[in-house]
Structure 1
Amino acid sequence: MDATRNEALEAWMDEHGHSSNSLAEAVNRALEQLTGRTGGLDGSSIRDWKAGRVRWPKSATRRALETVSGLPATALGFVPRGRAPSAPAAPQEDPEMKRRTLVGGIAVAAAAAAAAAPGTTGTRRIGMSDVDRLQQRFAEVIASDHRYGGQLGIEQHAAILAEEALNLQAAGSATQRVRSSLYGCAAAFRSSAMWAAIDGRRYADAKVHMREAQALAEMSGDQAIKFRIWSHAGAMYRHIGRPTEAFAANDVARGLHITRRDPMFASLGLARQAAIHGTAHDHTGTRRALDQAEDALDRIDPDAHRPVWLLAFYDEAELNSLALSAFLALGDYPAAESHAHRCLTTLRPHMLRSHAITTTRLAHAQLAQGDFEAATATAMRVPADAATQHARVSRMLQEFGAALRARAPRSSTAQTWTEYTRDAWRATA
C-alpha cells in the first residue's frame, strides 16, 4: 500500500542518483567489506524497501546501508520491529516540495533523535556523559576511515555527527566546560568529514568542511583539534599540488603551542612538512624535516595523554609513509622504495587504507627504476576493492598502468597487468 511506502529512502535515493539496482550493488559491496561475504541484494530487494514491505532489514544489511549512506537506518525511514510507523503526509502536499523537505530534514532528524533524552520533556542537563558518547562515536568514525578511507558515506556520517554535537548545545543547560567540549566534538567530526573528502579527491567539499571545522575549533579552544584541521589543510593543498598554501597551512599547525609541549605533534607536523618539501622539489628541506621528525618521535613520552585520532595512526610507519611520498615527488626512487618497505614492515593491521596506498606507491617506485615485473606484482597485491573504490588508490593505479604501457608497451608484463585489471577489477566495480 502507498501509505506504507518508505518515502525517506526514496528521497535519499533520488537526491543521490541511485536506482534500485545501483543501491543494491553498493550495499552488497559494503556487506562484503563488513562481513567478508558477498551480499545477495538485487533491485527487487530495494523495491521491497521502498514499498515498505521490508520495514527493518537484517542487522548486517542495515550496517552496510548506513556505511553507504552515512545515515542511521531510522533516518532513512526504516522502523525497528515493534515500533509503529509515523503517519503519512497529507496527499495534497506538493511532491517536489515534499521531496526537498524529506532530503533536507534527514540530517536534522538524525541529530535531533540522538540529542533528545528518551522519555523526557523540556530542558535537560547536558553533561560530560553526552560528550563521552560523542567521543566514542568519533572513535568509530576514525576506525572506519582507516579501514575504508575516502568514502562519501564516511564524510556524510561525520558531518551529521557534527550537527548532532551542535544540536546538543541547544538541547539543555550545560557548563562552559561541557559547551567547549561539544564544540570540540563538532570540530573533530567536521575534520573527519574534511579528511574523508580529501582522501576521496572531493576537494571543493573538503574546503567547505575545513571552514566549518576551523570556526568550531576556535570556539572549542582545543589545541589538538586545531592542529588536526590545519595539518589536514596542508595535506589537502599538497595533494592539489599547491605547495605554497600547503606550507602556510602546515605552519599554522606547527606554530601551535601543543607542538612544543608534545613531541608527537611536533613530529607529525615535521613529517608532513617533509612531504610538502618533496612536492616543492626541495631535497635539502625534505631531508632536514625528516631528520627532525625522527628525532622528535624518539623523544615522545609513550604514557602521555593524546587524542584518539593521533594515537590511531601516527607512528614510525606513518613517518615512513610521508617520507615515501616525499621521495617519490623528488624522483629519488631508491629512497622511496626503501621507505615503502620500512612502512609496510611496521604498519599496524587495522591500517587497511594506508596499506593499499603504500603498496601502490611502492609499485610506482619500482616501475620508475625499470623493474617492471616486480612493480606489476606489487601493484597486483593491492586489494581489488581499494583499487576500484578508493579514489586516491584508483587514480594512482590508473597512472601506474599508463606508465607501464608507455615504458613497455608490448611486454608480457604490460599484458599481464591489462588482463588483471580487466578481470579482477571488473568483479568489484
Structure 2
Amino acid sequence: MKFFMKNDNIIESTEFKVEMIRKDFPLLTTTVHGKPLVYLDNAATSQKPWDVIKAIENYYAHQNSNIHRGVHYLSQLATEAYEESRKKVAQFINTAHNHEVIFTKGTTDGINLVASSFGRKFIHSGDIIMISTMEHHSNIVPWQLLSEYSGASLSVIPINEKGELLLDQFKSMLNKKVKLVCIAYVSNTLGTVNPVKKIIEISHQYNIPVLIDAAQAIQHLPIDVQELDCDFLVFSGHKMYGPTGIGVLYGKEKWLEDMPPYQGGGDMIKTVSFDKTTYNELPFKFEAGTPNIEAGICLANAIAYIKNIGFDQIHRHEHELLEYATDELLKIAGLKIIGTAAHKASVISFIVDNIHPYDIGLILDKLGIAVRTGHHCTQPLMDFYGIAGTVRASFAFYNTKEEVDQLVSGVKKAVRMLS
C-alpha cells in the first residue's frame, strides 16, 4: 500500500496507476507487425524500466572499471557500487549476512553451483536428492548430472491434476538417505505457488537442507530467507525487471563456509603457489573471474523499482489480471487451462482441442501478442499431463485488462482460423 501527503496528513492511496507505470518501460510502446505490442511473456523475461536502462548507461559512461583488484579511482568507484548492490539484495531478501549473497549468472548458474559444490562435499553413492514433478529443467538436469557421477539417485514428489504437490506423499518419501530437497517456489508453467515454508519445516525435521528455486517468485512475492529458513535460494535478475546475465545464490553461512569453490581463477583466492592455493573469504570464494559488473550494480535499481511500487500493490493488480484472464479464456469452447491450483501466480497455461500451441502462438504474434509456446523447459510435467506443450500467458504489474481482452480476442481468432 502506498501513501501520500495532503495538508500534512498521511492519506492511504489504493489506486494502482498502471498507465503511469507503463511509461517507465520504453519497449512497451513498440509495435510488432504493425500492431501495438502486447507483452505476455514475462515468465521468460521481464521488460526493463528506464531506471535500470539509464543505470547501465551510467556505468559504462562514468564507472567502467574492473572491481576488487584496483587501487585507482574508477576501480574503487565500481567496487563500491557493486558491493552496495550486494547489500541491497541482502536487505531485499533479509539475509543474516551480506556475504551470504553470491552473485551468479542467473538461476541456472546458482543451481549448478550448489550441485557441483555442495554435491561434491555432501552427496555420495546411495544418497537421494528430492525434486518435484513440476520442476524446470534447470532444477532437474544438474541433479541428474550429480547423480551420474556420485552414485546418488533422484526422488520425485508427485502432484495432483490441479498441479499441487501431494504433501502427504512427500512426507512419506523422506528418510535418512535424502540429503537435499530442491523445489520451485512458483511453477513457471502452472503458476502454482508451492507451500515452501511447510516443505522446509518438514524437511528440517529430518535435518535435510532445502534449496528453493525462486526464479518465478522473486518478482511476485516478498521473500524473507530467514523467515522461510531455507538453506539455499536462487533467482535471476532478468525476470525481476533487471539486466540479463546476473543472478543470486543465497546460502546459509554454515553451508557456504563448508562448500568447496565452484570455479577457480581470479578473485576467489587468497594466495596461489604451484604447491597450494588458499581460498578467499565469502562471498568471493564463489565469484571467480570478472563478473557482469554493470548487471550486478543495476540489479539494485530493479529492486528499488519493485520496492517503490510495493508487493501489496503488485499482488493485487496481478491477481486481478489472473482472475479476469482465467474467466475470459474459459469462455472459449475447447480451451482447457493446465494448472488450476488454489494458490497461483499470474501465469496461465492452456491448450485448445485439436490445435497445436505453436500454431496459436504464431497467429497471436501476427496480432502483436507475445506469448510462450512449447514445453517451457518442463518436459516431465508435460508427460504427466499427456500433452506436448501449452500456450503460456504470463502477466506483470505493467499489463492491463485491455491487453487481456486482446489476448482473448486473438485466441478466438486463432481458433476460428485453425479449426
Provide the TM-score with structure 1 as the length reference. 0.26
More strand by share: 2
Q: Larger relative contact order (C-alpha < 8 A, sep ≥ 6)?
A: 2
Provide the TM-score with structure 2 as the length reference. 0.27
More helix by share: 1
